[in-house]
Amino acid sequence: MKQASAQNTSSTTLHKLRLLVALPMLIIVLGFGYIINDAYTQLRDFEHLKQSVNTVKLVSKLVDRLQLERGVSNGYLSSEGEHFKKEMAQKREAVDRVLATLKKKGTLSKHSIEAIEKRLQTLRDGVTKRTLSPSSAFEDYIHIIREFQVDYLKLLTSVNDTDIKTKLMAYTNLTYLKEALGQMRGAVNGLLSLGRPDSDLMKMVMSARGEYIASLERARSLQEPYYTKKLDAIVGSPQFHYLASLFEEMQKRQFNVQAIEPKEWFEKSTALIDRIYEIEQEYLHQIDAAIMERSKEIYLKLAFNIAAFVLTTILTLLLAFRLKNDVGRTLKLLEEYRDAVDRSNIVSKTDRSGRITYVNDKFCEISGFSPEELIGKPHRVIRHADTPKEVFDDMWKTILDKRPWRGVVKNRKKDGSDYVVEVTVNPIVNNEGEIEEFISIRHDITEILRVHETIEQTQQDLIYRLSEISEARSKETGFHVRRVAEYSRLLGRYSGLSEEEIKYLVTASPMHDIGKVAIPDAILNKEGPLDEEEREVMKRHALIGYDLFKDSDKPLLKAAAVIAHEHHERYDGKGYPCGLKGEEIHIYGRITALADVFDALGSERCYKEAWPDEAVFAYLRAERGKQFDPKLIDIFFEHLDEFLAIRDRYRDSCI
| Rounded CA separation 436/181 (Å) | 77
Lowest-confidence segment of 164-178, 322-336, 447-461, 573-587 by average pLDDT: 322-336
Report cis status (omega within 30 of 0) of the bond before 510: no
Count the helix, strand and coil residues of the chain and give each as a percent rounded to the nearest 5.
Answer: 75, 5, 20
Higher pLDDT, 596 or 53: 596
| Rounded CA separation 624/613 (Å) | 17
Q: Report which DSSP code applies to 608.
A: B
Average the pLDDT over 528-532 and give the result.
85
Q: What is the 3-state secondary structure (H, E, C) of 545-594?
A: HHHHHCCCCCHHHHHHHHHHHHCCCCCCCCCCCCCCCHHHCCHHHHHHHH
The answer to whether residues 534 and 553 touch, using CB atoms and an 8 Å cutoff, is no
CA separation, residue 646 to residues 55, 464, 489, 498 (Å): 42, 18, 11, 21
- Residue 421: predicted pLDDT: 84
Lowest-confidence segment of 198-202, 310-314, 461-465 by average pLDDT: 461-465
Please report the domains of the chain, with CATH numbers, ordered by start residue: 31-300 (no CATH), 345-444 (3.30.450.20), 449-649 (1.10.3210.10)
Nearest Cα to Cα of residue 548 among 467, 452, 457, 460: 467
pLDDT in tens, 336-361: 666 666 666 888 888 888 889 888 88
Average the pLDDT over 563-573 and give the result.
94
| Rounded CA separation 61/392 (Å) | 60
| Rounded CA separation 269/265 (Å) | 6
Average the pLDDT over 135-141 and give the result.
82
- Residue 513: predicted pLDDT: 83
pLDDT in tens, 314-342: 776 676 566 556 555 654 665 666 666 66
| Rounded CA separation 461/106 (Å) | 27
Helix pair angle (446-473, 555-566), 10° resolution: 20
409 bridge partner residues: 421
- Residue 159: predicted pLDDT: 72
Q: Residue 123: what residue type? A: L
67 three-class SS: helix
Write phi, then psi, for 405 (nearest 5 degrees): -115, 135
Average the pLDDT over 370-394 and give the result.
83
What is the band of 293 on the pLDDT scale with cuts at 50, 70, 90? confident
CA separation, residue 33 to residues 36, 37, 306, 314, 625 (Å): 5, 6, 11, 17, 58
Q: Is the torsion defined by CA of 594, 599, 602, 605 positive or negative?
A: negative
Higher pLDDT, 12 or 69: 69
Q: Torsion angle of alpha carbons 138, 143, 145, 150, nearest 10°?
A: 160
pLDDT in tens, 589-620: 999 999 999 998 988 765 568 899 999 999 99
The answer to whether residues 552 and 561 touch, using CB atoms and an 8 Å cutoff, is yes
pLDDT in tens, 421-448: 888 888 888 878 888 888 888 877 777 7
Higher pLDDT, 374 or 3: 374
The answer to whether residues 382 and 354 touch, using CB atoms and an 8 Å cutoff, is no
Pairing of strands 418-429, 356-359: unpaired
Q: Give Cβ neighbours of residue 461 (< 8 Å, ≥ 6 apart).
A: none
Q: What is the 3-state secondary structure (H, E, C) of 347-397?
A: EEEECCCCEEEEECHHHHHHHCCCHHHHCCCEHHHHECCCCCHHHHHHHHH
- Residue 1: predicted pLDDT: 35
Nearest Cα to Cα of residue 84 among 193, 4, 235, 237: 193
* pLDDT of 399 over the 70 cut: yes
The answer to whether residues 652 and 603 touch, using CB atoms and an 8 Å cutoff, is yes
Higher pLDDT, 458 or 275: 275
* pLDDT of 633 over the 70 cut: yes
CA separation, residue 259 to residues 196, 248, 254, 574 (Å): 11, 15, 11, 55
| Rounded CA separation 620/626 (Å) | 10
Q: Is the torsion defined by CA of 131, 137, 139, 144 positive or negative?
A: positive
Average the pLDDT over 455-484 and give the result.
63
- Residue 478: predicted pLDDT: 52
| Rounded CA separation 173/214 (Å) | 9
Q: Residue 361: what residue type? A: D
On average, the pLDDT of the chain sits at: 78
309 three-class SS: helix
* pLDDT of 25 over the 50 cut: yes
Neighbour count for residue 164 (Cβ, 10 Å): 20
Lowest-confidence segment of 54-63, 369-378, 425-434 by average pLDDT: 54-63
Which segments of 79-130 does DSSP mark as H helices, in order? 84-105, 110-128
| Rounded CA separation 186/193 (Å) | 10
CA separation, residue 380 to residues 249, 420, 508 (Å): 74, 15, 40
| Rounded CA separation 370/373 (Å) | 5
Write phi, then psi, for 151 (nearest 5 degrees): -60, -35
pLDDT in tens, 234-256: 777 887 787 777 777 776 665 66
Q: Give Cβ neighbours of residue 151 (< 8 Å, ≥ 6 apart).
A: 59, 108, 112
- Residue 5: predicted pLDDT: 35
Radius of gyration of the chain measured on its C-alpha atoms = 33
Which segments of 223-360 does DSSP mark as H helices, in order? 225-235, 238-251, 262-325, 327-344
| Rounded CA separation 57/291 (Å) | 13
Neighbour count for residue 103 (Cβ, 10 Å): 15
- Residue 563: predicted pLDDT: 93
What is the band of 637 on the pLDDT scale with cuts at 50, 70, 90? very high
